[in-house]
Amino acid sequence: MPERSDEMDRRKILIIDDEDDFCNIVKENLELRGSYEVYTTTSGKEGLKLAKKVKPDLILLDIRMPEMDGFQVLERLKKEKDTMVIPVIMLSALDDDSSKVKGSQLYNEMYLTKPIKIVDLISSIEEVLKRRGAL
């Protein structure tokens, strides 16, 4: 069991993506590094609840999801006092300019397209966390 200081040094990452396999692969790879505590959900609505409860240091957010898409989730996150400052990296198979611009207008921190190598994803997460002073 890690010491208390180790747990406090871990950065919390929330993954909101309807692909369960993707969530599990990213979670496993991030947690293997030892510096991340990762939460996952396959629902935008559940993601909003988890973001308020967990207060993650960063959110990885898919665009294409049932019920509530990633843009709707991002818009709600940025309107809520408790979640507006959490940096969000959009992750999507959509590689079109209009999706990238829309994400930027809703204040996402970065837009990445799938498929993505795990090493590139981790590098992007660390870049955003450093830029935000959380790493």
Say if CB 26 and CB 62 are below 8 A apart: no
Superfamily of domain 4-131 in the CATH hierarchy: Response regulator (3.40.50.2300)
What single-letter amino acid sits at 17? D
Write down the pLDDT at residue 97. Answer: 92
In angstroms, the Cα distances linking 22 to 12, 17, 29, 54, 72 are: 18, 8, 11, 21, 21
Taking residues 115-132, what's their average pLDDT? Answer: 94
pLDDT in tens, 38-78: 999 999 999 999 999 999 999 999 999 988 999 999 999 99
Residue 134 scores a pLDDT above 80: no
Domain-wise residue ranges, the chain: 4-131
Residue 16 scores a pLDDT above 80: yes
